[in-house]
Amino acid sequence: VEAEEPAAEEAKEDAASDESADESAEQESRDCPICGTSNAHDATTCIACNYTFE
């Protein structure tokens, strides 16, 4: 039973780090709703189609 507990803790840590990675990815890029191109998180317009982000 003791061997299962560390594995469960590791799984929780992995899930937490996956969520953090997802959040950072969202901050690093901004996908255009029109063409789907990935832009810088602070972009005001899409680099591919010039869509203006709100």
**pLDDT at residue 21 in the model:** 54
Give the C-alpha separation, 20 to 6, whole Å. 21
**pLDDT at residue 30 in the model:** 96
pLDDT in tens, 1-53: 655 556 555 655 555 555 555 555 557 899 999 999 999 999 999 999 999 99
Query: Which residues are 53's β-sheet partners?
Result: none
Backbone Cα Rg of the chain: 18
**pLDDT at residue 48 in the model:** 98
Q: How many structural domains compose the chain?
A: 1
Full residue range of the structural domain in which residue 15 is found: 1-54
CATH for 17: 4.10.1060
Beta carbons within 10 angstroms of residue 45's beta carbon: 12
**pLDDT at residue 46 in the model:** 98
Instruction: Tell me whether strands 29-31 and 38-40 are parallel, antiparallel or unpaired.
Output: antiparallel
